[in-house]
Amino acid sequence: MRIFLLLVLVSVCALVNGQKIIHIDTSENRYVSPKGYRNPELMFKNFSATTYNGIPYTTDSLKGKTTFVNFWYEGCLPCLAEFDALNDLYDLYKNNPLFQFLSFTSESKENALRVADKFKLKYPVICIEKDDIYNMIFNLGFPTSLIIDKNEKIRFIVCGGFSDQENAKRRIDSIFINELDNILNEQTQ
């Protein structure tokens, strides 16, 4: 297990430094590239938790909507660098009744609230245990973002990011808008 975690850590560091791929599942030789990984057969893990301000969410909250999910923690510089771009992404789709945005962190509710206030996060922040997060993101690193379809299937995964806001925004705009548009268009057909 330690070797596997070490490999995951090395892979995440490689991605942040511009390498091509990250291993997602050693048993099936699946990889996540900086441009994302598509596999509509992966299901989002069951969860039940609340936001830092007490709003409950469960796996059932995902049914019927395309959901953008972001995983972060305060000590992750690329996580912090993409907050402005994620706010913009949220603003772009927030009025679409078929869309929702969720954010998960292992921070305490108090820390999550402080970070959300500091970075003016506009979307729900759900606080869960670190082990639960790693389970939900297949032991990948941070930040990790997923797009989940209306049937709770993970349609797209991206892990890692840039430590500066300009590159973080460019990456989020170039990857996620197209993916979300395609999945939302499928949902309306």
pLDDT tens per residue, range 20-39: 333 444 333 344 556 666 66
What is the percent of the chain where pLDDT is above 70?
79
3-state secondary structure of 131: helix
**Which has the higher per-residue pLDDT, 40 or 106?**
106
3-state secondary structure of 30: strand
3-state secondary structure of 11: helix
**Which has the higher per-residue pLDDT, 14 or 179?**
179
Label residues 66-98 b or e (16+ Cβ within 10 Å = b).
bbbbbbbbbebbbbbbbbbbbbebbeebeeeee
3-state secondary structure of 110: helix
pTM above 0.75, yes or no: yes
pLDDT tens per residue, range 118-132: 999 999 999 999 999
- Bridge partners of residue 22, in order along the sequence: 32
pLDDT beyond 60 at 91: yes
Confidence of residue 43 (pLDDT cuts 50, 70, 90): confident
